[in-house]
Amino acid sequence: MYEIVKAEKLNPDVTRLEIKAPHIAKRAKAGQFVMITVDEHGERVPLTMADISPAKGTVTIVAQEVGKTTRQMGKLKTGDKVFSLVGPLGLPTELHKYGTIVCIGGGIGLALMYPVVKALKEAGNTTVNIIGARNEKLLIYEDEIKSVSDEFYLCTDDGSKGHKGFVSDILKKLIADGRKIDMVYAVGPIIMMKVIANITRPYGIKTIVSVNPIMVDGTGMCGSCRIIVKGETKFGCVDGPEFDGHDVDFENLTARNKRYLAEEQISLRRFMGGN
């Protein structure tokens, strides 16, 4: 069992859990994930770490309430315990000095984007960060990301804060302005990552995306998370979660992530007190 040292709501649908796991915190690096199981009957859910604190011996995950398990996480309180926490899993973000990088995050992806941008900046890169959400209320990690930005853009779909529109609009503009971009890093909804990859492809700008396929064990044993990269089957859990966005088959990833929709609805209805 792993103790939650701090549980807090970032907005009505998003919960941040800081969990005691000194052994994981000691080894974890930006870009890696943990598998969390809330209770003995729970499913194993992969969540990328939003913060890693070796000093405090904690790792932090951020979950958006979508299905049963994430709603259950939303009800967890400081002092509660979770049944299982495994990590650090997956490969860490490759930290090089690329030059100028544009990091783009959307929705819940912003929580995962923060440690990556921080690490990339510490590695000597100039960071141009673009963050977005549907509306102002759903924006998370704004200040944290701003604090590691050389240049910062914010957009909301409804215009309630910052630029009205999509993160991709800003990227397009930066490219149109002839800005020198050495690498683009995108994390967020699949559709967002796909759009970003399509924008950068004709310019040959290296684009890394962080995917979140359905997993079971998270250690390379089952292949639930397989994803097609450059026509080859890769495992999100051990070969990823980061891949070259120009090589990822997003159609297949989208279809695969929908494969238990019906069952997810059953679980959710039951949890919400329906039948």
Partner 1 sequence: MAEEAGKKEPRKLVPKKYPMPEQDPKERVHNFKEVPLGQDAQTIILEAKRCLQCKQAPGREICMNGCPVEIEIPRFIKAVQDGDFAQAIKILREKQNLPAVCGRVCPYEVQCEGKCIVGKKNEPVGIGRIERFLADWERNEQKHGHVETVKPTGKKVAVVGAGPAGLTVAGDMAKLGHKVSMFEALHSPGGVLVYGIPEFRLPKVIVQAEVDYIKKMGVDLKTDYVIGKLDTVDDLLKEYDAVFVATGAGLPNWTNLPGENLNGIMSANEFLTRTNLMKSYSFPDYDTPNRIGERVVTIGGGNVAMDCARTALRLGAKESVILYRRSEAELPARREEVHHAHQEGVRFELLSAPVKFNGDECGNVKSLEAIRMQLGEPDASGRRRPVKVEGSNFTLDCQTVLIAIGQSPNPLVPMTTPDLKLTKEGTIAVDSEGRTSKKGVFAGGDIASGAATVILAMGDGKRAAKAMHKYLTSDPSWPAPEVFEKVACEK
Interacting residues with partner 1 (CB under 8 A): 23-24, 26-27, 37, 41-44, 68-69, 83-89, 216-217, 219-224, 226-228, 233, 238, 251-252, 255-256, 258-260, 262-264, 266-267, 270
Identity of the residue, 244 or 263, whose beta carbon is nearer to partner 1 in the bound complex = 263
**Rounded distance between C-alpha atoms, residue 12 and residue 7, angstroms:** 13
Phi and psi at 66, nearest 5°, equal: -125, -60
Q: 86 with 9: CB under 8 angstroms?
A: no
Q: How far is the CB of 66 from partner 1 (least distance, A)?
A: 14
Q: How far is the CB of 239 from partner 1 (least distance, A)?
A: 11
Q: Read off the tokens for 237.
A: 């859990």
Identity of the residue, 71 or 121, whose beta carbon is nearer to partner 1 in the bound complex = 71
Phi and psi at 213, nearest 5°, equal: -75, 165
Identity of the residue, 67 or 107, whose beta carbon is nearer to partner 1 in the bound complex = 67
Q: How far is the CB of 198 from partner 1 (least distance, A)?
A: 20
**Rounded distance between C-alpha atoms, residue 136 and residue 146, angstroms:** 15
Identity of the residue, 134 or 270, whose beta carbon is nearer to partner 1 in the bound complex = 270
Q: How far is the CB of 195 from partner 1 (least distance, A)?
A: 20
Identity of the residue, 9 or 258, whose beta carbon is nearer to partner 1 in the bound complex = 258
Is the Cα torsion angle 225, 43, 49, 253 positive or negative in sign? positive
Amino acid letter at 207? T
Q: Read off the tokens for 157.
A: 């779909």
Q: How far is the CB of 45 from partner 1 (least distance, A)?
A: 9
Identity of the residue, 202 or 274, whose beta carbon is nearer to partner 1 in the bound complex = 274
**Rounded distance between C-alpha atoms, residue 184 and residue 127, angstroms:** 10
Q: How far is the CB of 248 from partner 1 (least distance, A)?
A: 12
Identity of the residue, 136 or 264, whose beta carbon is nearer to partner 1 in the bound complex = 264
Give the DSSP per-residue string, 11-76. ETTEEEEEEE-HHHHHH--TT-EEEEE-STTPPPEEEEEEEEETTTTEEEEEEE--SHHHHHHHT-
Q: How far is the CB of 156 from partner 1 (least distance, A)?
A: 32
